[in-house]
């Protein structure tokens, strides 16, 4: 009996290969959303993920926020009750923590081609063979790269190439931090990143969107990375939304103090909430599978894996 191998393989490939989109923005960076993340989802992330994070100062808001979150939840912050140190993280995942290698790769994704080279060096090292999540943050380069027309060639396309070359690794895209002094170019550059991620089913951590909203859901259209906000892109200073919230709410109940580079603690709080939504979201994506080649009565398994 003749078998049309091309049709058979095509049908199987389609059933095996799919890309899962995930966007983390101010919705997931809100404390009310964080409180809905279940213990089972957190444990699933701890069991599955081996994360490598490359960043400079602004990107540290995620991890310093995550560090402060441990004690905050230990003390019953947000009215939550979890086992002691349940949100702990470290390089190696020891003691039941999330395995997150902070500063795993030097620099940030604004330095091209260094960030690509550093990613490849990290993933090619046998010491990091279990890594299955790569995340890079920006510093202040998005606006400049948009103005120069290099976001695609120096960020989006290299990221997509890495995804192709390392199909068992989830690569997290990110927007750049707010910069009131380059408002138009920054917003346009960040939107370019969002549009690419939406069109191509990517995983996106929307750094800029998270710091554009306070926990009440109020949007600040002309905000800066330190949480100051203005009347317009060239307008006058109105105030600081994070300071307003912190002074009107109870510390260690509604928010917690932590290191937050260039900004207020509340900003890093929200980055940490979003980070845990990211980890649990990635962990819920189905495992990669091998592609089967069926020829007659023989079944061959490819050595390359494909994401479900």
Model confidence, pTM: 0.89
Burial (CB count within 10 angstroms: exposed 0-12, middle 13-18, buried 19+), residue 207: buried
Phi first, then psi: give them for residue 251, nearest 5 degrees: -65, 145
Least confidently predicted of 18-27, 88-97, 160-169: 18-27
Q: What is the mean pLDDT of the chain?
A: 91
Q: Give the mean pLDDT of 164-185.
A: 97
Domains of the chain as residue ranges with CATH? 21-285 (3.40.50.1110)
Reported confidence tier of residue 294, pLDDT bands at 50, 70, 90:
low
Q: Any long-range contacts for 280-283 (C-beta under 8 Å, 24+ apart)? A: 280/37, 280/41, 280/42, 280/44, 280/45, 281/22, 281/24, 281/28, 281/203, 282/22, 282/45, 282/49, 282/133, 282/170, 282/172, 282/203, 283/41, 283/44, 283/45, 283/47, 283/48, 283/49
Q: Tell me: pLDDT of 178 over 70.
A: yes
Q: Within 13 A of 183's CA, how many CA atoms are on the CB side?
A: 15
Is the peptide bond between 113 and the residue preceding it cis, with omega within 30 degrees of 0?
yes
Q: Give the mean pLDDT of 266-273.
A: 99
What tens digit of pLDDT does each residue of 220-267 get? 999 999 999 999 999 999 999 999 999 999 999 999 999 999 999 999
What tens digit of pLDDT does each residue of 46-73 get? 999 999 999 999 999 999 999 999 999 9
């Amino acid at each position: 009996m003749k078998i049309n191998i091309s049709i058979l393989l095509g049908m199987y490939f389609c059933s095996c290969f799919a890309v899962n989109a995930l966007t983390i923005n101010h919705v997931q960076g809100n404390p009310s959303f964080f409180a809905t993340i279940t213990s089972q989802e957190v444990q699933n992330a701890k069991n599955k993920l081996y994360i490598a994070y490359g960043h400079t100062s602004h990107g540290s808001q995620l991890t310093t926020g995550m560090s402060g979150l441990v004690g905050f939840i230990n003390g019953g912050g947000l009215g939550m009750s979890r086992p002691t140190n349940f949100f702990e993280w470290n390089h190696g995942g020891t003691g039941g923590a999330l395995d997150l290698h902070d500063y795993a790769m030097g620099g940030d994704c604004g330095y091209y081609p260094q960030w690509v080279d550093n990613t490849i060096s990290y993933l090619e090292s046998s010491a990091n063979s279990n890594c299955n999540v790569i995340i890079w943050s920006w510093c202040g380069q998005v606006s400049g790269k948009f103005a120069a027309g290099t976001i695609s060639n120096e960020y989006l396309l290299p990221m997509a190439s890495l995804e192709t070359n390392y199909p068992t690794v989830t690569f997290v895209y990110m927007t750049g931090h707010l910069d009131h002094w380059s408002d138009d170019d920054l917003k346009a550059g960040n939107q370019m990143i969002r549009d690419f991620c939406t069109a191509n089913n990517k995983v996106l951590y929307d750094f800029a969107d998270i710091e554009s909203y306070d926990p009440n859901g109020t949007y600040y259209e002309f905000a800066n990375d330190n949480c100051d906000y203005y009347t317009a892109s060239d307008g006058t200073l109105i105030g600081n939304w994070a300071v307003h919230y912190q002074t009107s709410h109870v510390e260690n109940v509604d928010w917690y103090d932590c290191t937050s580079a260039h900004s207020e603690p509340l900003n890093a709080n929200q980055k940490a909430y979003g980070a845990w939504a990211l980890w649990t979201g990635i962990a819920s994506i189905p495992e990669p599978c091998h592609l089967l080649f069926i020829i007659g009565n023989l079944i061959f398994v490819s050595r390359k894996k494909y994401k479900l």
